[in-house]
Amino acid sequence: MTGANLSGADLSGANFYDANLYQANLSGANLNIANLHRADLVDADLSNADLSGADLSGAFMLNTNLREANLIGADLSRSNRTTADFTGATMPDGTKYAGK
């Protein structure tokens, strides 16, 4: 699904386990409780996406745009997110992320 345009799609509960979502556009998508365990989200756009309760454990999020995303209750354990942009995102604990 490299470069897929899923912007605004309702993907709640979807199973993207180990999926290749490199450069995918998931902006504004509903990914509530989706399984993104070990997904390749490098250079993907998840801005304004609802990722509440999603499993992002072990995901590769290099240069991933997560601006203004809702991550309440999401599992980010063991994910590689060192260059992801979480500006304005609501983090798993409910706090707003202010920096990059």
Say if pTM beats, i.e. exceeds, 0.85: yes
- The pLDDT assigned to 47 comes to 99
Q: Which domain holds residue 24?
A: 1-95
Residue 65 covered by a domain: yes
User: Per residue in 81-93, pLDDT tens?
Assistant: 989 999 999 999 9
Start-to-end C-alpha separation, the chain: 27
CA-to-CA distance for 41 and 94, rounded, in angstroms? Answer: 22
Residue 28 covered by a domain: yes
User: Per residue in 21-62, pLDDT tens?
Assistant: 999 999 999 999 999 999 999 999 999 999 999 999 999 999
CA-to-CA distance for 80 and 92, rounded, in angstroms? Answer: 16
Structure tokens at 91: 């983090």
Residue 100 covered by a domain: no
What pLDDT band is residue 18 in, cutting at 50, 70 and 90? Answer: very high
- What lies within 8 Å, CB to CB, of 9 at 6+ separation is 26, 29, 30
What pLDDT band is residue 98 in, cutting at 50, 70 and 90? Answer: confident
- The pLDDT assigned to 2 comes to 85
8 A C-beta contact, residue 80 and residue 59: yes
Residue 11 covered by a domain: yes
CATH of the domain at 32: 2.160.20.80
Structure tokens at 2: 């490299």
What pLDDT band is residue 96 in, cutting at 50, 70 and 90? Answer: confident
Domains identified in the chain, total number = 1
Residue 56 covered by a domain: yes
